[in-house]
Amino acid sequence: MRFPALLDCAEVLPRLDQFDAILDARSPAEFALDHLPGAINCPVLDDDERHRVGTLYAHDPFEAKKLGAALVARNIARHLESRFLQHQRSWKPLVYCWRGGNRSGALAHVLTQVGWPAAQLVGGYQAYRRQVVAALAELPPRLSLRIVCGPTGSGKSRLLQALAAAGAQVLDLERLAAHRGSVLGDLPDQPQPTQKAFESGIWNTLRRFDTARVIFAESESRRIGRLQVPPALIEAMRAAPCLSLELPTPARIRLLLQDYAHFASDPQRLGARLDSLTPLHGHAVIAHWRQLAQSGALPQLAAELLERHYDPAYRRSLGRNFSGIPETMTLALDDIDDAALTAAAQLVHHQKITH
């Protein structure tokens, strides 16, 4: 009888990409909170079944095991028929569950008996999570970070995208957080991930980088939407050299109108977001801004938000939080079209800008 290979997490994580598939045997709710990068959910017990078996186990472990075995066998059979039969003998999956290995062990055992070289992750998701937490504490001080600064609407995120296209190493925290980092920054129809999933995304990005090369990131606060940037990473970012991006105000307004176009068709949602600024600006100012939103005067609203809210907040925050500001290099753009961003990215990537 063949048995699945039992692999330690520290051994597996550096070579995750060598597996043809990563199978998460946990329930859908567990999977939604966080999972290994690239994993697909193949629950051997769904959320309701897991609850039923767990409740029964508290009263009668033997009956719970009988019920669980029947449900697990049925679900594994369904996965075999619907997901796995097309794979050749060489298909190599990695299987994991929460911690104890019962669910992943059952799935990995069946896959191995079929003839696939399946491996089981010892310690499951909990072992993986410990590795991620440790890496996010230990790795950031060793990174060669360069922080792209600039007020709201200066094109920082677009420059990061252009840098990535030019072959630079880019850590785009706002993309990983599904949030633009401001009071209006939540994305339409795209909820933010959980904190653990956000940290998994950061780890999965950093693990692919060459720490001897520069890594570009955007100046961020500790919080992006409702998510927290890991402490060691934010501290490393705030101690890193900075690049300041400048853009004329008319171009900044055009950029904001493009990035926040979804608010144009939903002034009520925009007004609700503006309400959160009432403690800073007072009811009269917010009522005025809500009226601009309702009447469709978005260019004027964007201009006033930049002048009265975003730019003063940026100036206060930057000097207080980023020690690399005194040695900042400045990159001034006339516009944010593709040609300008591509040219700027080439200059930055090849370090051809000066103080």
Residues annotated as catalytic are: 97
> Rounded to whole angstroms, how far apart are CA atoms 150 and 147?
10
> Rounded to whole angstroms, how far apart are CA atoms 242 and 181?
18
CA distances in angstroms from 262 to 40, 96, 185, 258, listed in the order given? 31, 40, 11, 9
Instruction: Indicate the burial class of 191 (C-beta count within 10 angstroms; 0-12, 13-18, 19 or more).
Output: exposed
Q: Which of 142, 110, 115, 330 has the alpha carbon at shortest distance from 236? A: 142
Residue in the block written with tokens 């409740």: 55
Strand order in the sheet with 169-171: 169-171, 214-218, 144-149, 242-246, 329-332
> Rounded to whole angstroms, how far apart are CA atoms 304 and 297?
11
- CA 1 to mean position of chain CA atoms: 42
Residues in the chain: 355
> Rounded to whole angstroms, how far apart are CA atoms 227 and 198?
8
Residue in the block written with tokens 């991930």: 193
Residue in the block written with tokens 């048995």: 3
